[in-house]
């Protein structure tokens, strides 16, 4: 069995990115390699100048959902960037920006936060994913 988990991040809201960071960190703690591909609005959220800005929540969160997440943050729950950094320190986590999304959004490599390891296309993503599972968030 291929232990690698590949995660495509499409959405750029903080709740979805938090969910992705938790899945990544859990896999890293189990010693499983994680490959992340950033597309569209997720990629936008990894811009160096706004990675820790407020990226909003999905519509179904509503006001009650926002209040719950704000309370969790106040209680000291780690920001998704923090969880991802920890996962990278502990395990084998590789974060790649989708080259087509880079072009679409007019981004250069230097516009992205250093937590991003590189830029790749979809063929490289599939080859690296091998026979492992692919998750889309």
Partner 1 sequence: MDIKLKVDASGLSCPLPILRATQGIKTLQSGELMEVVATDPGSVKDFAAWASSTGNALVEQDSANGKFRFVLRRK
Q: For residue 78, what are its two tokens?
A: 């780690």
* Residue 86 engages partner 1 in binding (rule: CB under 8 A): yes
Residue from the set 5, 8, 9, 28 that interacts with partner 1 by CB under 8 A:
28
DSSP letter for 77, please: P
- Site for partner 1 (CB under 8 A): which residue of 54, 63, 74, 76? 76
Name which of 119, 105, 127 is nearest 37 in CA terms: 119
- The secondary structure of the chain in percent helix, strand, coil, rounded to multiples of 5, reads 50, 20, 35
Please identify, using beta-carbon distances, which residue of 86 and 134 lies nearer to partner 1.
Answer: 86
115 binds partner 1 (CB under 8 A): no
Give Cα 66 to chain centroid, integer Å: 20
Quote the least distance from Cβ 50 to partner 1, whole Å.
25
Q: Of 20 and 98, which CB lies nearer to partner 1 in the complex structure?
A: 20
Q: Between β-strands 34-38 and 93-98, what pairing exists: parallel, antiparallel or unpaired? A: parallel
Query: Near partner 1 by CB under 8 A, which window of 23-31, 41-49, 112-120, 125-133?
Result: 23-31
Q: Which residues bind partner 1 (CB under 8 A)?
A: 22, 25-26, 28-31, 72, 75-78, 83, 86-87, 89-91
């Amino acid at each position: 069995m291929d232990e690698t988990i590949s995660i495509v991040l499409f959405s750029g809201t903080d709740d979805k990115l938090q969910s992705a960071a938790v899945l990544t960190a859990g896999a890293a703690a189990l010693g499983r390699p994680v490959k992340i591909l950033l597309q569209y609005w997720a990629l936008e959220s990894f811009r160096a100048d706004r990675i820790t800005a407020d990226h909003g929540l999905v519509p179904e969160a509503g006001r009650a959902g926002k209040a719950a997440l704000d309370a969790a943050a106040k209680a000291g729950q780690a920001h998704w960037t923090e969880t991802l950094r920890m996962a990278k320190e502990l395990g084998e986590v590789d974060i790649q920006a989708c080259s087509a999304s880079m072009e679409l959004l007019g981004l250069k490599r230097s516009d992205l936060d250093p937590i991003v390891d590189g830029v790749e296309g979809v063929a490289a993503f599939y080859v690296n994913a091998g026979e492992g599972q692919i998750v889309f968030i």
